Amino acid sequence: MQKTSVDTLGASVDTDDFPILITTMPATAGQHKIAFGGFAVLVVVVVIVMLADIQIARVDAFVPVIQTVMCIAALLTAAFLFAQYAVQPQRALLALASGFVFSGLFAFLQTLAFPGAYGPGVLIGDESSSSGWLFLFWHATFSLAVIVYALLKDAGEAANRSRRSTRVTIGVTIAWAIATTAALTWGATESAAYLPSFDIRVTIQTSFAMDVAAALTLLSSTAIVLLFIRRRTILDQWLIVTLFAWLPNLVAASLHTVVRFTLGWYMGRVYALLAGSSLLFVLLTETLRLYTRLR
């Protein structure tokens, strides 16, 4: 390919080195510093979450509001990744996008089974186990999707597909993710009476919940280690931050019985929302920068 350049506001941009996909752009030194700052804040949050067992006012609307925002952020991120796949089909991006679809759907569905979220009782399932199982499916499917992404992202890709074939693949993937979510949700709600319980009362969790949190911590840590070893791009770096966002909650839940509506419980979920949405903000920001450079 002939080497060309475009002049933008007096600056020359070499198109041979100009990235087309945000998800394949290497992380800069400045972005590394920002991510490191996020990790530093995480350490402080971990300490607060572990120590802040101060019981404060119970706000039932907190869970549906904050997790609905998480749902929207995750689905927008999935849409962004599917768009990137449409430009340059990569199976790793497809796996990761489906993980965000799972995350967004389960984030909202879990609120329907959360006791007191929309009024007395729950809208689906029962009050002692359905919410916990949906939480398990939420974080397990996302971590597994990230692991698949980390293993596939450096693999060689097949020949370029047609635009129609790419759209069909995206449609099938979305349909599969929705169907799988529906099946798991049905199992967590219709079979609730036969499943181990997560909650003793609305604010107290069982020892089984601690074991599940430990397993989710291990699964999430595995995804983080794989990403760290194979990290190359902005996407890899901020995926690590996203996974780290939930670790304070999972670690705290695996070490001692979590009491809901405490200061640490509220702060952990607020931090998870902010850090978990950071990938979406970064991708949107880098897209604007790319379009500015192209213009």
What is the per-residue pLDDT across 205-234, written as a single tens digit (0 to 9) for each? Answer: 777 888 898 999 999 999 999 998 988 888
Kindly report the pTM of this predicted structure: 0.82
CA distances for 159 relative to 22, 89, 90, 148, 162, angstroms: 21, 9, 10, 21, 10
Q: Based on the structure, what is the number of domains in the chain? A: 1
- Which residue positions in the chain have pLDDT lower than 70? 1-52, 156-163, 201-204, 257-258
Residue 3 falls inside a structural domain: no
Q: Tokens representing 118?
A: 């929309």
Which pair of structure tokens corresponds to residue 249?
């909650």
Q: What are phi and psi of 5, to 5 degrees?
A: -145, 155
Place of tokens 């790319």: 290
- What's the N-to-C CA distance of the chain in angstroms? 22
Kind plus residue range of the DSSP H or E element containing 8 = strand 5-8
Domain annotation covers residue 24: no
Is residue 73 situated within a structural domain? yes
Closest CA to 271 of 36, 48, 78: 48
Report if residue 13 sits inside a domain.
no
Q: 235, 295, 257, 293: which is closest to 95 by C-alpha?
A: 235
CA distance linking residue 170 with residue 152, whole number of Å: 17
Task: Decide if 83 is inside a domain.
Answer: yes
Q: Which domain holds residue 170?
A: 29-155+163-294
Residues 108-165 have pLDDT tens digits of 999 999 888 888 888 998 888 898 899 999 999 999 999 999 999 877 555 455 667 8
Residue 42 included in any domain: yes
Establish if 130 belongs to a structural domain. Answer: yes
Please report, as a single letter, which amino acid is at residue 90: Q
Residue 171 falls inside a structural domain: yes
